[in-house]
Structure 1
């Protein structure tokens, strides 16, 4: 699995367009976000149980990430058509503010090393990538356990300070000063 300090892989994937259920798709690549921070969160499968709770949770921090010049991308190995069908069938997902990327060839998930060996789907992985495409945070959960998007936002805040941030540090708290 790729980890801290490594370069996030190049990719180009089709995505269900944010805020749209009409069938409009967009192409998302490394170049799409430009020189901004990126948060990628991967989920195993559409039309499941834990996944929509996480997706709604990440959507809730989308605006806060945008205020921090960070772009949010959700990714699974389902197609853009499956993403669209899921958005149309679940009112919680209809107006998501971020694109749902379709890694149907599993190339990005494989390059990151986050494919579950038994199921062949993405693990619940989260990557925070800086404007230089360097991975700065990685978290991977068991398929059965959802993530805490507020913790991801806290980590983005901490990383963007460029300082030493203690345990449970929150935006606005004092940072540590090395002696």
Structure 2
């Protein structure tokens, strides 16, 4: 698995766009291509989930989506992705009311290129671990974590990590933005 200090790999993936616009109409506006060149100069957070139409995944996706404005206020673009195709992502969004109006794009890594390059594929299950990467504006990985398939993440902790990384000080355990550093 790539780790802190490594360059985040180049990629170009099809995605289901953020928002609800056009979900109940034709394909126009539903899909977009997202690459490592998008949101240049911003921090980026990538969170991987195993696959669509599962039980824990929508709780995480909705939680990250609900916090998209908090991340954006810190100049962080949030991307969610799994090994499913953009068509599967779209179908899931159309049939799950919680996912209909997401504030983040759902990237499709169905060829497993980015997942493989990052080393986040679960060897036995053949799907992504619940991995999360925080990448700085220069494309350098500044935080990486991976959970077992059965354990969801808390987006609040990743917001705290972004705050600490952007602060630049020595941030103690449970530190929050605005508190003194060491």
Q: Aligned partners of 2:67, 2:19: CA distance in 1, in Å?
A: 15
Q: Aligned partners of 1:160, 1:98: CA distance in 2, in Å?
A: 22
Match of 2:12 in 1: 12
- Please state how far the C-alpha of 1:60 moved relative to its aligned partner: 1.5
Structure 2 runs not aligned, ≥5 long:
none
CA offsets per residue over residues 58-112 of structure 1, 9 Å max, x none?
1121000000000000010000000000001111100101100000100000000
SS at match of 1:138: strand
Q: Show structure 1 runs of 4+ deviating over 3 A.
A: none
Match of 2:75 in 1: 69
Q: Aligned partners of 1:14, 1:63: CA distance in 2, in Å?
A: 23
Match of 1:104 in 2: 110
How many residues are paired up?
176
Q: Aligned partners of 2:99, 2:162: CA distance in 1, in Å?
A: 24
1:50 and 2:56 equivalent? yes
Task: Give the alignment partner of residue 137 of structure 1, picking from 139, 143, 152.
Answer: 143
Match of 2:167 in 1: 161
Q: Aligned partners of 2:174, 2:59: CA distance in 1, in Å?
A: 24
Match of 1:90 in 2: 96
Match of 2:123 in 1: 117
Structure 1 runs not aligned, ≥5 long:
none
Q: Aligned partners of 1:173, 1:83: CA distance in 2, in Å?
A: 39
With normalisation by structure 2, the TM-score equals 0.95
Cα RMSD for the two superposed structures: 0.7
SS at match of 2:179: coil
